[in-house]
Structure 1
Amino acid sequence: MEIEEIDPVTGRKTTGHEWNGIKELDTPVPRGVLMFLVATHLFALLWWILLPTWPLGSTYTKGLLDIDQRKTVEEKMVAATAARSDWMTAIETKSFDEISADEQLMKTVRETGHQLFGDNCAACHGSDGKGRSNYPDLTDQDWLWGGGPEKIAETLTVGINSRHSESRIAQMPSFGRDEMLDRTQVRQVATYVHSLTNPETSTPDNVELVKAGQEVFLTTCAACHGEDAKGNQEVGAPNLTDNYWVYGGDLQTIIASIHGGRQGHMPTWDERLSKADIKILALYVDSLGRENP
């Protein structure tokens, strides 16, 4: 028969286990721990009863409270749509001029437009609309296809070189690569175009080069860019005299553009955005240039 051993310090029984002279006491689980375990088990049981919990093949236990997160999200979306309905209806039905004249509506346009722009346009044009390499700055009021909310909305709707049946179409030919101009003519016309925004580069040493480039420009480039090189928004040809450049205005980049050509692309947004969203974006983009003159 095993003799129970009592610890002389605590007066409790030992379990008979000993490690390195340390004996294990036969101490019961604290009452507080037991109460906590009971409470958590009761809570879990209550949770299983009240809320959706257990999968049952193609369904699940619904819970007495009938809480469904999908239903909750749908209800919130309905509430949000209802809250937007008044000003969305106003934007859909009013003209651009009427919306622009309504300060309260324009406040909503700026707030909503900022979000729409960030979600759909910022990847190319930057979060501030100032563009980046090979993508135009939308704040400088220098437009390829025309500014103002109406023109901007049209461009957003049909895109540029997009799959839309009414897409704006524009391409600068590769004059050098396709041998429409020889290397000398490419350098001549590039030097002339560069001199338009950098008149200090026209010196007695290269005046003949610039003059020869002007002749090439008039016979080759003026059909799109105009004889004065101020561009043509009907065909998306940029103004070459204002020092606003999409691809860069230094001499080597101009040579590269003339030699290899350029073809920008902007997707059509009419399938992704509603007409009201497009109007909001057009007004917002138009406001960027007015706020950043």
Structure 2
Amino acid sequence: MAVGERDPVTGKHTTGHEWNGIKELDNRVPRAVFFFLLATILFSIVYWVLMPAWPLGVTYTKGLLGIDQRQTVEKAVEEAAAQRAAWTDEIVRLDFAEITKRPELMRIVRESGSTLFGDNCAVCHGTDAKGSPGFPSLADDSWLWGGNPEIVAETLRIGINSTHPETRFAQMPAFGRDGILDRPAISSIVSFIRNNAEGIDDLGPLDMKGVEEGAQLFAENCAACHGAEGRGDPAMGAPDLMDNSWVISSDRASLSRTIWQGRQGQMPHWEERLAEIDRKILAIYVTEIAGRKMEAAQ
């Protein structure tokens, strides 16, 4: 089909293209399109003149406005640091008790603490701070080393069984593996613990020596760390065995395994990873979590 043919309906020239019997008209490009293209070209030229644009080897054209994104970011960081200093200085200067009495500081602690906890602690203790097997819950009032902010801040600083020279150290002996107790004795101790601990409704079968002998064995082998009543000792990081908060589990198999092979948990020290103010905020944040959870449970 020859170019220049006219459409019999409109009388306009066609381009010579045809699709399924439909012929394409040779219409002019709308002026609005030319205007848009011209506007974008002019904008590009103006942008090249005013803004940093063209690379020149190891440098680039600076533009008439002299805008430098690096300087802009640095200025924004400086302004943010100045705004942050208004409250960081207060948190660093005040002790824990004074901070908790200041609503404006506690609002910052909750906001910053939530982020710090999610970035550094949630991977082990869970996003809800309720822990998981082997990682203690921080959302109750059962603390291995004590639950006031000062103690928690110190634990964050030096860790537990970590590489820090001042680390807190705690280890449970392997009573079975090391030949201190045989399996029947361990079974009796487990029966004693499960029979007296809170929140265990399904006791299951008691072993041959029973709860009474388990109490005697507990007093001889476990009370030195966990206390005569099994309520733990924060000075040694020994957990309370009579509450309803368990680092591992309260079932018979888990308790027997723990006594047989021992335990030695580990928490890294954060002195070199988090600034003092961040550790201070985290300490207040996690202890407040526990307080709110306890109030909600009552």
Identify whether the pair has TM-score above 0.5, normalized to the shorter chain.
yes
Question: Deviation at 1:3?
Answer: 9.9
CA contact (8 A) 1:52 1:61 kept: yes
Matched, 1:146 2:172: no
Question: Deviation at 1:268?
Answer: 1.0
CA contact (8 A) 1:186 1:259 kept: yes
Question: Deviation at 1:155?
Answer: 0.5
Question: Deviation at 1:176?
Answer: 2.1
Give 1:52's aligned residue.
52
CA contact (8 A) 2:138 2:286 kept: yes
Give 1:166's aligned residue.
166
Alignment partners' CA distance in 1, 2:205 and 2:177: 30
Question: Deviation at 1:278?
Answer: 1.3
Question: Deviation at 1:153?
Answer: 0.7
CA contact (8 A) 1:195 1:201 kept: no
Alignment partners' CA distance in 2, 1:57 and 1:212: 85
Give 1:136's aligned residue.
136
Alignment partners' CA distance in 2, 1:161 and 1:242: 24
CA contact (8 A) 2:15 2:26 kept: yes
Q: Residues 264 and 67 (structure 1 numbering): CA distance in 2 closer, same or farther, change over 3 Å?
A: farther
Q: 1:155-181: per-residue Cα shift (whole Å, max 9, x none)?
A: 011011111111111121222233332
Alignment partners' CA distance in 1, 2:204 and 2:274: 52
Q: Residues 55 and 213 (structure 1 numbering): CA distance in 2 closer, same or farther, change over 3 Å?
A: farther
CA contact (8 A) 1:176 1:260 kept: yes
Give 1:223's aligned residue.
224
Q: Residues 21 and 219 (structure 1 numbering): CA distance in 2 closer, same or farther, change over 3 Å?
A: closer
CA contact (8 A) 1:192 1:211 kept: yes
Q: 1:190-248: per-residue Cα shift (whole Å, max 9, x none)?
A: 22222221687789975842223223322322221122222111110111112221111
Deviates more, 1:99-108 or 1:13-22: 13-22
Matched, 1:264 2:265: yes
Give the 3-state SS of the residue equivalent to 1:292 in structure 2: helix
Matched, 1:27 2:35: no
Give 1:120's aligned residue.
120
| 1:52-91 equivalence runs, <5 A | 52-91=52-91
TM-score (normalised: structure 1): 0.87
Matched, 1:290 2:277: no
Return the letter of the residue paired with 1:281: L
Matched, 1:237 2:238: yes
Q: Residues 3 and 146 (structure 1 numbering): CA distance in 2 closer, same or farther, change over 3 Å?
A: closer
Alignment partners' CA distance in 2, 1:192 and 1:3: 102
CA contact (8 A) 1:194 1:254 kept: no
Matched, 1:178 2:167: no
Return the letter of the residue paired with 2:86: D
Count of matched residue positions in the alignment of Structure 1 and Structure 2: 292
Question: Deviation at 1:17?
Answer: 5.2
Q: Residues 186 and 62 (structure 1 numbering): CA distance in 2 closer, same or farther, change over 3 Å?
A: farther
Alignment partners' CA distance in 2, 1:291 and 1:268: 26
| 1:242-261 equivalence runs, <5 A | 242-261=243-262
Q: Residues 208 and 23 (structure 1 numbering): CA distance in 2 closer, same or farther, change over 3 Å?
A: closer
TM-score (normalised: structure 2): 0.86
Q: 1:233-267: per-residue Cα shift (whole Å, max 9, x none)?
A: 11101111122211111212111111222221111
Matched, 1:274 2:275: yes
Alignment partners' CA distance in 2, 1:89 and 1:19: 75
Alignment partners' CA distance in 2, 1:228 and 1:6: 105
Alignment partners' CA distance in 1, 2:141 and 2:31: 76
Q: Residues 15 and 208 (structure 1 numbering): CA distance in 2 closer, same or farther, change over 3 Å?
A: closer
Return the letter of the residue paired with 2:133: S
Return the letter of the residue paired with 2:246: W
Alignment partners' CA distance in 2, 1:3 and 1:41: 33
Alignment partners' CA distance in 1, 2:34 and 2:104: 62
Show structure 1 runs of 5+ residues with no match. none
Alignment partners' CA distance in 2, 1:3 and 1:211: 109
